[in-house]
Chain A
């Protein structure tokens, strides 16, 4: 009877303890801090606003406290930050939306694991050797001695084990064919994944800032997918915008449509002495058989940008072939040749021109 009484006392104490704990103060503490713990600090790595000591985290925390004081609900405050930083800032991965699967999978895994363990039973015989039986016999004897099993239970278990050894060895539960097929499947998955990983790893990371937003979605960064007509419309709408006009003029110039390029370049030159505009106008003038005027333009271009290779190259041509001034051309050609990113055909031509200029 004292044993029963002891158990009763323990149970009673446990109930008292449970009541004390559930009526106890387990409040979560400061509401602002609790909210801070649910938000990710933007300038940190995997730290919450509440944990972080960074200035940004402090700023956010004080804004949270302000909003609480202004009577905002928890949801409103979280939404406020989500609207600015995106779902990224929510650290506690709610059991809804994108992060629902995160919550479901461990629960499914737990259920599966419990089901597997619960379904484990002694299934038929195993290919146990007689030495295992000897071990079991010793083990059982020890357990009986320890009072863990009574004799009857031990001998019952032992006879089960003995019966198992006498039974024919079981067939493997999986056929050879299915094992091989599974092995081949796994290897195929491996090869596929490795191939995919190798291909994807060759992608370079963008450098020099990362642009996100609607702008990039319109297409590639350059204007190559915009027609000349569209660009004309833009330039007409923004007559003051030099870079746009230059881009359009360059396009005409490269296409050889000098009559279209020239007005735009002249419009640019009205605003400022752009080296590119000066050089290209000079070249167009030269091709129009006015080497003196061309040289003047090109020299102005080099005044504005002394290292501008294209102007050096144009002026060298003008001087050598238009003005018959090999001495004036030679230093320019040397400058051109000293530049690294000169196309090969220009380089070859420049070399032969330099030879010609120095020979004479």
Chain B
């Protein structure tokens, strides 16, 4: 019954998606079909019902559905039962469809109904939704029946069942990836319609920021999941699954920057189209890479007709959009209006070049083994060393651009003005570098990143201070009040600066945790103590407990430093009943200067073996990630009322 309702809901959503495409096509009246509203309601209800039905099937242990039998067990705790709905291929596509329906509804409520671009965008959204619900109705049906109805299922993948982050990370990631459909849809609509100019950018600015913010949050939580669950002491492995979400993030970041140039100066119109098409294509390509089984990876899903379908869809999306773009180039390609490379526009161009190169290198690294094998049947690997060597120099130059760009004037930057604005930040940065070299470390990477991050932050702080003092001089406001008002009024710019601040934090954290992380392997018998990096770790007692879905066997380890007892750590090895697979559950002590991280590799009567890590400044990575998200959210917190009040004040003044 649940299966029948769920599958019907998928069909309803599919039919509604097709209806949206038809109904949004322009008619003679210039208005959409009167029933378009019903198609919208159908899409949202259908996708929502499909998700609810899947959840219901999981919660009611309906093992007659293959998805439930393969990803759920009676003993699975409720939270992970809910999360199982997107822990495997079919369910994750249901979530994808639901999020897409949500964004389509948003576009519909914001659309002005007679506007051809809004309607065109709705048609594109409908077409994309048709593909995904088509997949759910055929190759990847989440409500397909089990061959035999087992009494109990095997439960979710233990790696996914081991931490609460699994419940949050995929939805956030999908809110990001799927949201990037919206700017793509408007770009295509603008191309089809033959509209030049940046109207499509104005309409999608907020959605792009929302999607990008979610994507950033999703990637950050993904790294946190990797750190907290996998027990290897790291957080980013350049795994294809990670790259699949990082690639669209890079091009979307480039797009957010270059769209500013187009809105302000009318430049880069064709380039923005290319970027937004590439970004959307990369979300599909990433999904293809991770879901088709062509690459083996941590959480790849298995081979099915979904892979070929995604590859075909990717081809149609990319090449169809390119064909459209090339035939409309005369509309979008304006003459360049660049006055000088030494200008804000010039730095934006450099930023775009760097981010695009970054994406290109990551894409090359991810797909290169496949390409080599396709053309020569030789098998090669591309891993961390390659990605690091490409990422480090590009990131360092990006940091320089990040300190320069926001204070460089548009059109032409004279040496005097630039130096005036950069003088103090450069001095502060060099001073910070000297302090680091004298007091902490002389490692070149660490010192360089401290210098650049300080440069970025002091440059933005100095600019805010300078602007606020100018503003305060002409009014009765205090300087801080003036600064706050500036940040609210020019919320796009200052949101960007907040994000830059987050990036500076992330850069420092990444460098420090890479350069100064330490690792040791120890074996301890009961009561024995090991020393590591100034800490003493004592194996106090073993413990074990049987939970409904797993057996937890662990060790109580007391951690002290210089004889002072800090905390008791309880790492464990969890064995999940259905899967017969053991997963380590690391324990860590989070500190201001460093995390102490311990992951068990063996525990038996003879004692324990464990991997110990000291990871410096890890908190800064997570905080930095969410400061970036805050930067994306900043402009969205400025409501219409605030903007109107501000405009009024400007008029009065």
Contact = CB atoms under 8 A, between A and B. Distances in A.
Most chain A C-beta atoms within 10 Å of own C-beta, residue among B336, B448, B599: B336
Given A46-B237, A126-B334, 8 more contacts: A13-B431, A38-B385, A58-B521, A89-B381, A90-B380, A93-B365, A93-B381, A106-B357
Nearest to B317: A190
Interface string B330-351: 1001111111010000000110
A10 B426 contact: yes
Interface string A107-119: 0011001100110
Given A13-B431, A123-B335, A183-B326, A106 B364 contact: yes
B298 A45 contact: yes
A92 B386 contact: yes
A324 interface: no
Given A51-B234, A102-B368, A147-B417, A110 B357 contact: yes
B34 to A, nearest CB: 34
Interface string A320-358: 000000000000000000000000000000000000000
Interface string B307-325: 1100110011001101110
Interface stretch (A66-74, A172-180, A300-308): A172-180
A205 interface: yes
20 contacts: A16-B434, A17-B430, A45-B297, A47-B237, A53-B231, A53-B611, A91-B385, A93-B381, A102-B365, A105-B364, A106-B364, A122-B338, A122-B339, A126-B337, A148-B414, A149-B411, A157-B412, A179-B330, A186-B326, A197-B312
A102 B364 contact: yes
A51 B232 contact: yes
Interface string A130-174: 001000000110010011110001000100000000000010111
B525 interface: no
A95 B34 CA distance: 61
A75 interface: no
Contact of B444 (A7, A26, A48, A176): A26
Contact of B390 (A10, A20, A106, A179): A106
A124 to B, nearest CB: 6
Nearest to A117: B349
Contact of A179 (B238, B329, B379): B329
B489 to A, nearest CB: 13
Contact of B232 (A37, A52, A118, A198): A52
Contacts of B329: 172, 174, 179
A124 B335 contact: yes
Interface of B: 231-232, 234, 237-240, 264, 266, 296-298, 300, 303, 305, 307-308, 311-312, 315-316, 319-320, 322-324, 326-330, 333-339, 341, 349-350, 353, 356-357, 360-361, 364-365, 368, 372, 376, 378-386, 390, 409-414, 417, 423, 426-427, 430-431, 433-434, 437-438, 441-445, 447-448, 451, 519, 521, 584, 599, 601, 611
A190 B434 CA distance: 56
A80 interface: no
Contacts, number: 238
Closest 4 CB pairs of A and B: A24-B442, A201-B308, A92-B385, A190-B319
Contacts of A234: none
Contacts of B338: 120-122
Contacts of A6: 423, 427
Nearest to B360: A109
A124 B337 CA distance: 9
Nearest to B318: A190
Interface in A182-198: 182-184, 186-187, 189-190, 193-194, 197-198
A93 B386 CA distance: 6
A221 interface: no
Contacts of B410: 139, 143, 148
Interface in A1-57: 6-7, 10, 13-14, 16-17, 20-26, 33, 37-38, 40, 45-48, 51-53
A109 B376 CA distance: 24
A78 B565 CA distance: 44
A10 B444 contact: no
A99 to B, nearest CB: 6
A254 to B, nearest CB: 36
A186 B319 contact: yes
A98 to B, nearest CB: 5
A100 B308 CA distance: 30
B383 A48 contact: yes
Nearest to A99: B380
Nearest to A110: B357
A194 B411 contact: no
B231 A21 contact: no
A33 B334 CA distance: 54
A127 interface: yes
A272 interface: no
B31 to A, nearest CB: 28
B430 A37 contact: no
A153 B412 contact: yes
A194 B316 contact: yes
A190 to B, nearest CB: 4
Contact of A143 (B308, B409, B519, B584): B409
B337 A122 contact: yes
Contacts of A90: 380-381
A186 to B, nearest CB: 4
Contact of B379 (A86, A91, A101, A113): A86
B229 to A, nearest CB: 12
A200 B294 CA distance: 13
A87 B324 CA distance: 42
A244 interface: no
A247 interface: no
A260 interface: no
A128 interface: yes
Nearest to B309: A201
A173 B312 CA distance: 33
A117 B364 contact: no
Contacts of A13: 430-431, 434
B145 to A, nearest CB: 22
A183 B323 contact: yes
B3 to A, nearest CB: 27
Most chain B C-beta atoms within 10 Å of own C-beta, residue among A46, A99, A132: A46
Nearest to B435: A17
B444 A98 contact: no
Given A20-B437, A186-B319, A26 B443 contact: yes
B110 to A, nearest CB: 24
B417 A148 contact: yes
A257 to B, nearest CB: 42
Contacts of B339: 122, 157
Contacts of A48: 383-384
Nearest to A139: B410
A295 B488 CA distance: 100
A272 B437 CA distance: 83
B448 A21 contact: yes
Given A26-B443, A93-B385, A157-B339, A98 B333 contact: no
A61 to B, nearest CB: 9
Contacts of B437: 17, 20-21, 24
Contacts of B445: 26
B442 A21 contact: yes
A183 B327 contact: yes
Contacts of B423: 6-7, 10
A53 B599 contact: yes
Contact of B322 (A98, A106, A186): A186
Nearest to A140: B411
Given A117-B353, A120-B349, A127 B334 contact: yes
B333 A173 contact: yes
B376 A98 contact: yes
A190 B372 contact: no
Given A24-B437, A45-B297, A91-B385, A198 B312 contact: yes
A338 to B, nearest CB: 22
A124 B336 CA distance: 9
